[in-house]
């Protein structure tokens, strides 16, 4: 659950992990992924693959194609995987020091290669790389994997990833819930549904808000490309595109978290984290948890419900007008509640230690709600609120926040500009556009100057840094919607390349994607001992220089920020999965299809 652990719960989280750690970790140490895949090869083969960093998924046929080499060498070849034929050869760039990793990096630019197929790099004196593809629609399968991973996170139902991933299934889970005393109510409240948030089984409105909103935006912007991609989920073929079918699973749960007065409870989770058990084996009571005092619901959760409900009203209208109307009604009632209760923040009540998703200010969430409601309805009340409050959030457009779930100013400003509503304030639109485009141009320059060709700065290696990389990409893609510019799309894709293997670890940070993906997510269904490996399609949190778990804390003091990562189940601060990072990855992939 991202930063919620780091700020308030490090001991609780690590304790729950350690209960069943020994056997899992021993297995992880003895059977590293490379040993499983290439057990018959020499250590030199392995070190070459780690030194030659490629996007293990691939490169679009007509775009830039760059690999990076961190061992001394001068030339490289691109060879066809099927018969080792050389299809391209070139000189490596000069070595450049990268302070974020401590690596000396040389670029292997094979952009001029215009052949489709499966290839690898051969670097004389170093060895060969992992395989990758050059072609059209090269990221479509990765989009499928990343979006389908949300199905794997479904709560309140049995899940089976099917014959493609045999053994990845769980029985129906969390079928009963109840009001916690902090909610101001009592008795049963099942609220079945939603997505398990992260490595744990909690469901949290605030993180659901940004995650679901991001997926619905992906549909609004890239729906033409996504419309016909089946996710092989139970609803497939029902006439609604699958990305919307999957998002609705979580939306339905969010709607159930709204009280009769319009406010939304903050979260539904057990009081403390379960052990590393399968979802159906988590028998801790699932509690609807509130603020502990009137009005019991929180403003951030309620405003996020208003925002997402407003988007849903636009998006689902062609497919299910009744559901769209229900979502809009919920959004309006949620907004009205926040007008009466503009600043009810949330902290975990006494005795509750699951993810907090606390936030000192809900003003940005309200701005997002107003902007989405304006975009959907065109009603002046929402526009007026937006125009009174937007200016203070303009600086938020310059860079992704470290915790994107608590900083909704960017989405508020972006949706105002993406809207085509008449009556929008021209000065506000111009100011936001200018700021978005200036930020994008600066990020492109920085990305080109970075030895690893990422937009990441030293300060970005925080809890969930891979989500920050994905958010840089998403921001560049939105800039490209506002003013098309191929350099924005290329720089966005550079961040995708980073996540898919062109990084210091030569590691794909998406499970079961690429030849060398990470293996040990902090994710209870992957760590319960019942599956052959990690559940597919999940994005790791990534390097975290704040070292908020024992494994990171024990690493050498002088290790550069981008190196502070452990592919181990116990490293919840660098290797957990989370739906908000996952949604950012899906958006980035959708934009690069």
Active site residues: 200, 522, 567, 576
Taking CB under 5 A as the binding criterion, the range among 77-85, 152-160, 343-351, 537-545 that sits at the site for Zn ion is 152-160
Which of 155, 402, 462, 586 touches Zn ion by CB under 5 A?
A: 155
For the chain, the helix, strand and coil percentages under 3-state DSSP, each to the nearest 5: 45, 10, 45
**Any idea of the CA torsion for 255, 260, 264, 270, to the nearest 10 degrees?**
-80
Decide: residue 67, CB within 10 A, 0-12 exposed, 13-18 middle, 19+ buried: buried
Taking CB under 5 A as the binding criterion, the range among 153-161, 327-335, 341-349, 471-479 that sits at the site for Zn ion is 153-161
Nearer to Zn ion, 173 or 362 (CB): 173
- DSSP symbols for 569-589: TT-HHHHB-BHHHHHHHHHHH
Residue 327 and residue 342 in contact, taking contact as beta carbons nearer than 8 Å: no
In the three-class reduction of DSSP (H, G, I as helix; E, B as strand; rest coil), residue 190 is classed as coil
Q: Does 173 bind Zn ion (CB under 5 A)?
A: yes
Q: Return d(Cα 581, Cα 187) in angstroms, integer.
A: 34
Give the shortest CB-277-to-Zn ion separation in angstroms.
11
Give the shortest CB-307-to-Zn ion separation in angstroms.
25
Q: How many C-beta neighbours within 10 Å does residue 345 have? A: 14
Decide: residue 311, CB within 10 A, 0-12 exposed, 13-18 middle, 19+ buried: buried
Angle (deg, nearest 10), helices 299-315 and 321-340: 150
Angle (deg, nearest 10), helices 205-226 and 409-418: 30
Q: Which of 285, 249, 288 is nearest to 265 (CA)?
A: 288
Nearer to Zn ion, 54 or 173 (CB): 173
Give the shortest CB-156-to-Zn ion separation in angstroms.
6
Q: Return d(Cα 516, Cα 223) in angstroms, integer.
A: 31
Q: Which of 62, 122, 59, 57 is nearest to 88 (CA)?
A: 122
Nearer to Zn ion, 68 or 233 (CB): 233
Cα 71 from chain centroid (whole Å): 31
Nearer to Zn ion, 173 or 289 (CB): 173
In the three-class reduction of DSSP (H, G, I as helix; E, B as strand; rest coil), residue 144 is classed as helix
Nearer to Zn ion, 109 or 160 (CB): 160
Q: Return d(Cα 170, Cα 174) in angstroms, integer.
A: 12
Nearer to Zn ion, 146 or 155 (CB): 155
Taking CB under 5 A as the binding criterion, the range among 30-38, 96-104, 173-181, 332-340 that sits at the site for Zn ion is 173-181
- DSSP symbols for 241-310: -HHHHHHHHHHHHHHHTB-TTS-B-SEEE-SS---S--GGG--S-EEEE--SSTT-S-HHHHHHHHHHHH
Instruction: Quote the tokens at residue 299.
Output: 């403003």
Residue 322 and residue 383 in contact, taking contact as beta carbons nearer than 8 Å: no
Burial code of 461-484, b = ≥16 C-beta within 10 A, e = fewer? Answer: bbbbbbbbbbbbbbbbbbbbbbee
Taking CB under 5 A as the binding criterion, the range among 51-59, 92-100, 172-180, 464-472 that sits at the site for Zn ion is 172-180
Interacting residues with Zn ion between 542 and 581 (CB under 5 A): none
Give the shortest CB-201-to-Zn ion separation in angstroms.
5
- DSSP symbols for 421-461: -TT--HHHHHHHHHHHHHHHHHHHHHHHHSTT--S--GGG-
Q: How many C-beta neighbours within 10 Å does residue 305 have? A: 34
Nearer to Zn ion, 155 or 251 (CB): 155
Which of 65, 106, 174, 502 touches Zn ion by CB under 5 A?
A: 174
Instruction: Quote the tokens at residue 495.
Output: 């961040």
Cα 420 from chain centroid (whole Å): 27
Give the shortest CB-174-to-Zn ion separation in angstroms.
3
**Closest residue to bound Zn ion by CB:** 155
Interface size with Zn ion, residues (CB under 5 A): 4
Give the shortest CB-283-to-Zn ion separation in angstroms.
11
Residue 89 and residue 101 in contact, taking contact as beta carbons nearer than 8 Å: no
In the three-class reduction of DSSP (H, G, I as helix; E, B as strand; rest coil), residue 279 is classed as helix
Nearer to Zn ion, 59 or 201 (CB): 201
- DSSP symbols for 355-420: -----S--HHHHHHHHHHHHHHH--HHHHHHHHHHSGGGGGGGGS--SSGGG--HHHHHHHHHH--
Taking CB under 5 A as the binding criterion, the range among 169-177, 489-497, 534-542, 577-585 that sits at the site for Zn ion is 169-177
Interacting residues with Zn ion between 262 and 291 (CB under 5 A): 279
Give the shortest CB-173-to-Zn ion separation in angstroms.
3
Site string for Zn ion, 322-361 (x = CB under 5 A): ----------------------------------------
Nearer to Zn ion, 174 or 189 (CB): 174
Give the shortest CB-510-to-Zn ion separation in angstroms.
23
Residue numbers at the binding site for Zn ion (CB under 5 A): 155, 173-174, 279
């Amino acid at each position: 659950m991202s930063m919620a652990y780091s700020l308030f719960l490090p001991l609780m989280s690590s304790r729950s992990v350690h209960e069943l750690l020994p056997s899992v970790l021993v297995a992880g140490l003895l059977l590293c992924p490379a040993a499983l895949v290439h057990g018959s090869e020499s250590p030199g083969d392995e070190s070459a693959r780690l030194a030659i960093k490629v996007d293990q998924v691939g490169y679009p046929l007509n775009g830039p194609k760059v690999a990076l080499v961190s061992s001394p060498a001068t030339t490289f070849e691109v060879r066809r995987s099927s018969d080792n034929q050389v299809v391209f050869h070139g000189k490596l760039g000069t070595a450049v020091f990268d302070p974020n990793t401590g690596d000396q990096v040389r670029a292997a630019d094979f952009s001029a290669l215009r052949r489709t197929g499966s290839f690898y790099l051969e670097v004389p004196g170093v060895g060969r790389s992992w395989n990758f593809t050059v072609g059209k629609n090269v990221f479509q399968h990765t989009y499928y994997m990343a979006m389908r991973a949300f199905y794997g996170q479904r709560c309140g139902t049995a899940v089976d990833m099917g014959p493609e991933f045999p053994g990845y299934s769980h029985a129906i889970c969390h079928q009963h819930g109840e009001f916690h005393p902090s909610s101001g109510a009592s008795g049963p409240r099942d609220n079945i549904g939603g997505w398990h948030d992260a490595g744990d089984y909690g469901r949290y409105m605030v993180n659901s808000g940004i995650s679901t909103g991001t997926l619905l935006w992906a549909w609004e912007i890239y729906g033409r490309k996504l419309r016909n991609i089946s996710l092989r989920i139970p609803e497939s073929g029902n006439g609604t595109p699958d990305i919307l079918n999957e998002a609705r699973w979580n939306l339905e749960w969010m709607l159930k978290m709204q009280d009769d007065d319009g406010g939304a409870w903050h979260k539904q989770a057990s009081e403390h984290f379960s052990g590393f058990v399968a979802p159906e084996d988590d028998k801790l009571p699932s509690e609807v948890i509130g603020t502990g005092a009137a009005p019991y619901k929180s403003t951030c959760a309620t405003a996020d419900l208003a925002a997402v409900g407003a988007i849903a009203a636009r998006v689902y209208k062609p497919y299910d007008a009744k559901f769209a109307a229900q979502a809009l009604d919920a959004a309006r009632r949620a907004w009205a509640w926040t007008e009466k209760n503009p600043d009810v923040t949330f902290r975990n009540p006494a005795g509750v230690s699951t993810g907090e998703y606390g936030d000192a200010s809900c003003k940005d969430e309200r701005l997002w709600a107003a902007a989405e409601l304006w975009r959907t309805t065109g009603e002046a009340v929402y526009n007026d609120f937006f125009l009174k409050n937007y200016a203070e959030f303009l600086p938020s457009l310059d860079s992704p926040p470290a915790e994107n779930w608590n900083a909704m100013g960017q989405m508020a400003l972006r949706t105002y500009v993406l809207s085509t509503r008449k009556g929008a304030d021209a000065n506000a639109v111009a100011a936001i556009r200018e700021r978005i485009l200036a930020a994008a141009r600066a990020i492109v320059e920085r990305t080109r100057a970075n030895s690893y060709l990422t937009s990441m700065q030293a300060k970005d290696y925080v809890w969930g840094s891979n989500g920050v990389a994905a958010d840089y990409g998403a921001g560049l893609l939105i800039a490209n919607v506002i003013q098309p510019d191929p350099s924005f799309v290329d720089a966005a894709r550079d961040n995708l390349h980073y996540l898919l293997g062109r990084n210091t670890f030569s590691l794909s940070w998406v499970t079961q994607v690429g030849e060398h993906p990470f293996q040990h997510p902090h994710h209870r269904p992957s760590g319960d001992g019942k599956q052959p490996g990690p559940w597919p399609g999940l994005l790791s949190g990534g390097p975290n220089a704040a070292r908020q778990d024992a494994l990171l804390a024990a690493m050498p003091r002088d290790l550069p920020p981008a190196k502070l990562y452990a592919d181990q189940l116990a490293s919840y601060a660098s290797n957990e999965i989370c739906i908000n990072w996952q949604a950012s990855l899906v958006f980035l992939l959708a934009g690069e299809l």
